[in-house]
Amino acid sequence: MTHINRRAFLATSALYPWTVPAWAHAVQNQPADGLIERLREPPNLEFPFHTLSAAIIPNDRFFVRCHFPVPTVAANTWRLRILGAVGREVELTYDQLRAMPPRTVTATLECAGNSRALNVPPLRGVGWQQGAVGNAEWTGVPLSAVLERAELTRQAVDVVLEGVDRGEVTAEPRPMGPLSYARSLPLAKARQPDVLLAYRMNGADLPPAHGFPVRAVVPGWYGMASVKWLTRILVTEAPFQGFWQTSDYSYFERMNGVPTMRPVTEMQVKSLIARPRANEMVRSGTEVRVHGAAWTGESHITRVDVSDNGGTTWAQARLAGEGQRGVWRLWDYTWRAPANAGRVTLMSRATDAAGRTQPMTRDTDRRNYMVNHVLPVEIQVN
């Protein structure tokens, strides 16, 4: 079995060097519909993307990405402090935050490392395949409303969001001893009205693994910006250079050819095929529903195309619902399987309203993040 797959892979890999070997999709240690365990402790759990059936992912099936053990935080002792370049320091209790005017936002979170295990060769880090992505309805208070209370000074530049969770890291360069998870937003992004301090997820209180009692939700940006178990907001007068946006979650951008390190921020346009899944068998000559989801950063999806011939020709898929910034769109396409048996490689390619289209190849300046190139899915026609 493995031998046959390996040969099939070698045959196609000459044509498409990024083709994913079918055995790389093999899913270990999981019940059919549960979350896929990529790491037990701290919990790093992947949504089984082939089960995608609706735009909202329920809380118990939403992927979990944790750098440190999930902290236990009691709502009645939890405090949120806003300090730094502020006119007055603010401290809020859970009840005070929940008494502020609420706002509900639908937002897609994708981990910046999603699909890294599907790159050829796999990129280093937690071995996410398709499912370190999800979409939920979040309720909370706009971050801007809380910042307003603190009366930011004119020198304010960055808003650092810090979680309760702490631990030691191994990647160099790193500070000695424990540090807490923290990420910053530039002031303009922090003030967007849909950036939330959320306390509800899909109509329920935030589950512990997703940041109870309060987390940030930053639509349009990769998941690492949506800090969970939020407890401090530090306003700085210079761009923040913390571990999680320099050593970790950073990439190289070329400035006239000179690589410059930048924090990972906006999600890149991307689509994934939920079904058929890799190695799935379909009947020759029949109609097959090819479907999945597509998302992007500070824009919305306007088009998804499907190819069954390695990207030589493309056919337009149907998009569900309306295009909305920061929210994924489900898509589907009715494909006619060839009359003859054999291996077929399916691909999907998304385009957004800003005119950005998924690239066909991997940009290696992105280190092990922002994996949005077209990811082929090899299936079996019988």
Q: Which residue has the tokens 């029949």?
A: 286
Give whichever of 181 and 333 is closer to ligand MTE, judged by the CB atom: 181
Residue 210 binding target from Mo ion, ligand MTE, none, CB below 5 to 8 Å by type? ligand MTE
Q: Is residue 248 close enough to count as binding ligand MTE by CB under 6 A?
A: no
Q: Is residue 224 close enough to count as binding ligand MTE by CB under 6 A?
A: yes
Smallest distance from Mo ion to CB 67, Å: 9
CA distance 266 to 124: 21
Contact call for residues 348 and 294 (beta carbons, < 8 A): yes
Q: Which two tokens stand for residue 46?
A: 């992947």
- What DSSP element (H or E) covers 144? helix 143-150
Helices (H), the chain: 2-13, 94-99, 143-150, 187-190
The residues near 28 (Cβ < 8 Å, ≥ 6 apart) are 36
Give whichever of 44 and 351 is closer to Mo ion, judged by the CB atom: 44
Q: For ligand MTE, what does the binding mask look like between residues 184 and 223, x meaning CB under 6 A?
A: --------------------------x------------x
CA distance 73 to 6: 48
Binds ligand MTE (CB under 6 A): choice among 52, 57, 64, 150: 64
Cα distances (angstroms) measured from residue 221 to each of 217, 234, 265: 9, 20, 5
Q: Which residue has the tokens 């095929």?
A: 273
CA–chain centroid gap for 12, Å, is 29
Which three-class secondary structure state does DSSP give residue 95?
A: helix
Q: Which two tokens stand for residue 365?
A: 């300046």
Binds ligand MTE (CB under 6 A): choice among 181, 221, 243, 369: 181
Listed ranges 65-73, 85-93, 97-105, 149-157: which one lies at the site for ligand MTE (CB under 6 A): 65-73
Give whichever of 351 and 372 is closer to ligand MTE, judged by the CB atom: 372
Listed ranges 22-30, 48-56, 59-67, 102-110: which one lies at the site for Mo ion (CB under 5 A): 59-67
Residue 181 binding target from ligand MTE, Mo ion, none, CB below 5 to 8 Å by type? ligand MTE
Give me the residues that bind Mo ion (CB under 5 A), please: 65, 111, 223-224
Give me the residues that bind ligand MTE (CB under 6 A), please: 62-67, 109, 111, 163, 165, 181, 210, 223-224, 226-229
